Amino acid sequence: MEPTTPSIIISTLMFLGVLLYFSFVIGGSYVLAKRKTNNPILGTMLGIILSFAPPFALIYLAFLLFKKDLETE
Protein backbone atom coordinates (compact mmCIF):
# COMPACT_ATOMS: atom_id res chain seq x y z
CA MET A 1 0.00 0.00 0.00
CA GLU A 2 1.44 3.35 -1.05
CA PRO A 3 1.33 6.35 1.29
CA THR A 4 -1.08 9.08 0.32
CA THR A 5 0.09 12.53 -0.71
CA PRO A 6 -1.06 14.34 2.50
CA SER A 7 0.83 11.85 4.68
CA ILE A 8 3.99 12.40 2.64
CA ILE A 9 3.65 16.17 3.01
CA ILE A 10 3.03 15.91 6.76
CA SER A 11 5.98 13.59 7.32
CA THR A 12 8.23 15.85 5.24
CA LEU A 13 7.19 18.91 7.26
CA MET A 14 7.77 17.03 10.52
CA PHE A 15 11.23 15.99 9.34
CA LEU A 16 12.07 19.58 8.39
CA GLY A 17 10.85 20.81 11.78
CA VAL A 18 13.04 18.31 13.61
CA LEU A 19 16.00 19.18 11.40
CA LEU A 20 15.47 22.89 12.07
CA TYR A 21 15.25 22.24 15.83
CA PHE A 22 18.49 20.24 15.89
CA SER A 23 20.25 22.86 13.76
CA PHE A 24 19.11 25.64 16.10
CA VAL A 25 20.16 23.84 19.28
CA ILE A 26 23.51 22.61 17.98
CA GLY A 27 24.38 25.90 16.28
CA GLY A 28 23.30 27.92 19.29
CA SER A 29 25.28 25.67 21.60
CA TYR A 30 28.40 26.12 19.50
CA VAL A 31 28.14 29.90 19.22
CA LEU A 32 27.32 30.43 22.89
CA ALA A 33 29.88 27.91 24.14
CA LYS A 34 32.56 29.54 22.01
CA ARG A 35 31.85 32.93 23.57
CA LYS A 36 31.16 31.89 27.14
CA THR A 37 33.23 28.81 28.04
CA ASN A 38 36.89 27.84 28.05
CA ASN A 39 36.16 24.56 26.24
CA PRO A 40 33.69 25.18 23.39
CA ILE A 41 33.89 21.64 22.01
CA LEU A 42 32.75 20.17 25.32
CA GLY A 43 29.96 22.74 25.51
CA THR A 44 28.84 21.87 21.99
CA MET A 45 28.94 18.13 22.72
CA LEU A 46 26.76 18.71 25.78
CA GLY A 47 24.35 20.68 23.60
CA ILE A 48 24.22 17.81 21.09
CA ILE A 49 23.46 15.29 23.82
CA LEU A 50 20.84 17.52 25.43
CA SER A 51 19.18 18.22 22.08
CA PHE A 52 17.55 14.79 22.34
CA ALA A 53 15.65 16.05 25.41
CA PRO A 54 14.13 19.37 24.26
CA PRO A 55 13.33 20.91 27.67
CA PHE A 56 16.87 20.30 28.91
CA ALA A 57 18.37 21.63 25.67
CA LEU A 58 16.42 24.88 25.96
CA ILE A 59 17.38 25.23 29.63
CA TYR A 60 21.03 24.68 28.67
CA LEU A 61 20.83 27.32 25.94
CA ALA A 62 19.22 29.76 28.39
CA PHE A 63 21.99 29.02 30.91
CA LEU A 64 24.66 29.77 28.32
CA LEU A 65 22.81 32.86 27.14
CA PHE A 66 22.71 34.42 30.60
CA LYS A 67 26.25 33.42 31.55
CA LYS A 68 28.82 36.22 31.43
CA ASP A 69 31.17 36.37 28.45
CA LEU A 70 34.79 35.37 28.87
CA GLU A 71 37.30 38.13 29.18
CA THR A 72 39.22 38.67 25.95
CA GLU A 73 42.93 39.23 26.25
Could you tell me if residue 35 is inside a domain?
Answer: yes
Q: What is the rounded average pLDDT for all residues in the chain? A: 92
User: Residue 31: pLDDT band by 50, 70, 90 thresholds?
Assistant: very high
Question: If we measure between CA atoms, which residue out of 65, 53, 5 comes closest to residue 29?
Answer: 65
Q: Which domain holds residue 56?
A: 20-66
| Domain contains 7 | no
Residue 32 per-residue DSSP state: H
Nearest to 47 by CA among 70, 68, 24, 66: 24
Chain centroid to CA 40: 14
Q: Report whether pLDDT(62) > 80.
A: yes
Q: What is the total count of domains within the chain?
A: 1
Residue 42 scores a pLDDT above 60: yes
pTM, two decimals, is 0.83
User: What is the structure's pLDDT at 21?
Assistant: 97
